[in-house]
Amino acid sequence: MQKNAGFVSHGAPDIILGTDRALHSWQTYLKPEKNYRAIAVISAHWMEKELTISGNPHPKTIHDFGGFPEELYQMRYPAPGSPSVAMNLNENLSKSGWISKMENNRGLDHGVWIPLMTMSPDSQIPVVPISLSREMGTGEMFQFGRDLHDIAGNDLFFLASGGITHNLFEARVTTGGNARWAEEFDDWTVKTVQAGNWDDLIHYRTAAPYGSRNHPTEEHFLPLLAFAGWASRSLECSPERKISVPNRDISYHCISMTGFLLESTQ
């Protein structure tokens, strides 16, 4: 079963210290026997004015969080980068009409290295981070995913890392149950993605229940639009593929851990 793209709701950084069900689902994302040229990752935790692709050959592990156990700050994910893949992506995005640039200093933020520590624990596959852009909304991110699919090649895995829900103001450790407004939005998102209702996904703030409440800001939902764009284009080219849901769960009262995986049965 071929897999070449996925979306993860990466949750809180300390997920890697526990046994959350999402960790087990992440282990299924990469096909062990496939020789990936690189993993291109777009994370909610890197945003620039314009699309930026990192060509750092030795990206450092960024601990971009505070207040967690010391064990978390000692973790490192020593995957190499791939300047050649980054340069190729940047050149082809420019040819496709996108304004993008290269940089060579970016490390791996926790939206990147925490999922990959589970998916690729030997850290041998090169990782190429791609930023969000402050100039791009949901529609532009969807189109970006479609165009990235066409230029990426079959040996590159695309990972989008964000969150189906991301309202930290209402998240809490102890609760009497999951928030109904988060569950309804999570349900809507799963149904919308699997049905391929891309226009509704792009306009989720008005089309979905509690769109703005689940996303006071959009940076964690934008990676899903990039994945959706990639998936929509892939399904046009290979109708036998499907979008599966490896994990569905809500933690901290309202933080969805739902993920998606683009698969083929051939």
- The percentage of the chain sitting over the pLDDT mark of 70, rounded to a whole number, equals 97
pLDDT value of residue 264 = 78
Name the nearest CA neighbour of 30 among 262, 266, 265, 214.
Answer: 262
Whether 265 has a pLDDT exceeding 80, the answer reads: no
Residue 61 DSSP code: B
pLDDT, tens digit, 9 for 90 and up, residues 28-44: 999 887 899 999 999 99
Give the predicted TM-score (pTM) of the model: 0.96
- Residue 191's domain comprises 2-264
The count of domains in the chain is 1
pLDDT value of residue 8 = 98
Whether 1 has a pLDDT exceeding 60, the answer reads: no
CB atoms within 10 A of CB 47: 14
Q: Rounded to the nearest 5 degrees, what angle is found at the Cα of 159, between the Cα atoms of 155 and 164?
A: 155
Distance CA 116, CA 16 (A): 10
pLDDT, tens digit, 9 for 90 and up, residues 68-101: 999 999 999 999 999 999 999 999 999 999 999 9
pLDDT value of residue 34 = 86
pLDDT, tens digit, 9 for 90 and up, residues 200-223: 999 999 999 999 999 999 999 999
